[in-house]
Amino acid sequence: MQRFIRNLAASATLALALFLFPAGQAAGLPVEATVGTGPSTANILIEFQDGTAFLFEVLFSGASISGIDAIDALTALPTFDVDLLDFGAFGIVVDGVTYGAYSNVGFGGGDLFWHYWTKESENESWLFSDVGASFRQIGDGGWDGWKYNARAPVPEPGTAVLVGLGLVGLGIARRRRP
């Protein structure tokens, strides 16, 4: 019986993970476009307010590239535009991103602005950046994530699995109660 419950929980977790975080938002998102030249790669993930996400690669030479230079490099794409605001000593911030038919621009109150997340490699968890993109240096294989309207990192499969396990566990515990 315990094996059956474990198998059921694993199946439910997988189904829940696929339901909560579609493949377009999880790791494994195909690269939409590559810009730049050089032997090093910075991965830039852009997620719009409606949850649509795109992964871009920025190729560069040298040890690193700033987060602002990486997202600004994407303007080489014909349908990509980024609005930057210069706050002097506080750095440059992203005020708007447009890609094709998707666009989120400006501060709309609350969490309606572009949030900046980073990780040093694909296998690490997203961290809310403690420095602005103009001060961040992305090394080869580094990741920057830009998400509009939520102070939560771009979803990862591991997060979905944990949420799913918690919900399945609550369901099993509830069934055991008399």
Percent of the chain with pLDDT strictly greater than 70: 69
More confident residue, 17 or 166: 166
In sequence order, the β-bridge partners of residue 145 are 45, 117
Work out whether strand 53-60 and strand 31-36 pair parallel, antiparallel, or are unpaired.
parallel
Structural domain that includes position 9: 1-21+156-178
Instruction: Kindly tell me if the per-residue pLDDT of 19 is higher than 70.
Output: no
Q: Are residues 163 and 146 in the same domain?
A: no
Residue in the structure block whose two tokens are 């315990």: 2
Q: Are residues 6 and 45 in the same domain?
A: no
pLDDT for 175: 57
pLDDT for 21: 31
* Count of alpha carbons within 13 angstroms of residue 139, beta-carbon side: 4
Q: Are residues 63 and 111 in the same domain?
A: yes
CATH (domain of 104): 2.170.130.30
Q: Are residues 130 and 88 in the same domain?
A: yes
pLDDT for 154: 54
pLDDT for 149: 84
The 10s digit of each residue's pLDDT in 86-121 is 988 889 999 999 999 999 999 877 888 999 999 999
Q: Are residues 4 and 41 in the same domain?
A: no
Q: Are residues 91 and 8 in the same domain?
A: no
pLDDT for 140: 97
Spatial separation of the C-alpha atoms in residues 17 and 156, rounded to whole Å: 10
Q: Are residues 59 and 132 in the same domain?
A: yes
Q: Are residues 1 and 72 in the same domain?
A: no
Q: Are residues 170 and 107 in the same domain?
A: no
pLDDT for 111: 85
Spatial separation of the C-alpha atoms in residues 12 and 28, rounded to whole Å: 21
Contacts (Cβ under 8 Å, ≥6 apart) of 102:
48, 50, 52
pTM above 0.95, yes or no: no
What integer is the mean pLDDT of 37-45? 97
pLDDT bucket at 12, cuts 50 / 70 / 90: very low
The total number of structural domains in the chain stands at 2
Q: Are residues 128 and 47 in the same domain?
A: yes
Q: Are residues 69 and 94 in the same domain?
A: yes
What integer is the mean pLDDT of 148-169? 55
Instruction: Kindly tell me if the per-residue pLDDT of 166 is higher than 70.
Output: no
pLDDT bucket at 22, cuts 50 / 70 / 90: very low
Q: Are residues 171 and 147 in the same domain?
A: no
pLDDT for 39: 98
